[in-house]
Amino acid sequence: MPEGDTIFRAARTLNRALSGHTITRFETVLPQLSRVDQDCPIVGRTIEAVESRGKWMLMRFSGDLTLLTHMRMNGSWHIYRPGESWRRGRHRMRVMIETASFVAVGFDVPVAEFHDSPSLARHPNLARLGQDVLGEEFDPQAATLRLREFGNLPIGEALLRQSMIAGIGNVYKSEVCFACRVNPFRQVSSLSDAEALCLITKAQEYMRANITDHSGDGTVTYTGFRRTTRRADHGARLWVYARHNQPCRRCGAAIQSRKQGEAARVTFWCPECQPL
């Protein structure tokens, strides 16, 4: 599933390409979008801005209309020049927005909705979001207090709760716990103040490091390899994620993995560096 850094980079790419330009063509295979387009045509509107909010993306059009999308596991946005060949089959296109200079294509997008300002403000998922870890006004101290409110949950599950902090996904969950030497299966209530603050600040540090101008902007908006180790070697870019039974980069013990939570997301950790 794309995490907050992926959506941030995608929104930045789309904003740079589309913001301020007039829509010359709009296509969708999604009935809920087609109905709005028939009643209030999209062509002729100006794209005012594209922004991310946690794992959600908001594309704002003139006339108080916003396209809200969520990528879930497999969705992505691509940017092309008019006439350029698409890197995915047309049967996977869900929504397409064209201007004089660029074509933005949403492939396999599972959640796409049009909203005006009142309906967007009432959107239950957006209303429940915690602070965006990549937001300019992100407050680590306030986020630490918010984490404490999930005291009965295992730490790995709490970090994925978008109502706690918006943007953290499965990769960063495991990487942040390792960096702070915290076992992800401990309860949040067992965290010391220093451990709780470490989890929040490391999440912010790692995710901000992966939204630099050189971390993945381009034609395909989801590209760019995450790094938490600061190593240039592609094979050494993560501490524990997807490294089951491989040696820990700190102590040499075999990295372990296990499904966690109702969604059964796989968590990776080092049993020596992160004991229970």
Q: Which residues are catalytically annotated?
A: 2-3, 55
Q: How far is 175 from 208, CA to CA, in rounded Å? A: 14
- Which of 44, 57, 58 minimizes the C-alpha distance to 4? 57
> Distances from the Cα of 7 to the Cαs of 37, 58, 61, 197, in angstroms?
25, 10, 19, 25
User: Around 109, how many Cα atoms within 13 Å sit in the side-chain half-sphere?
Assistant: 28
Longest CA span, the chain: 62
- 78 exposure class (CB count in 10 Å sphere: 0-12, 13-18, 19+): buried
Helix or strand holding residue 80 (H, E): strand 76-80
φ, ψ for residue 125, nearest 5 deg:
-70, -40
Cβ-proximal residues to 55 (8 Å cutoff; 6+ apart), any chain: 1, 2, 3, 4, 7, 70, 71, 162, 166, 167, 169
Q: How far is 37 from 237, CA to CA, in rounded Å? A: 44
Helix or strand holding residue 174 (H, E): helix 170-179
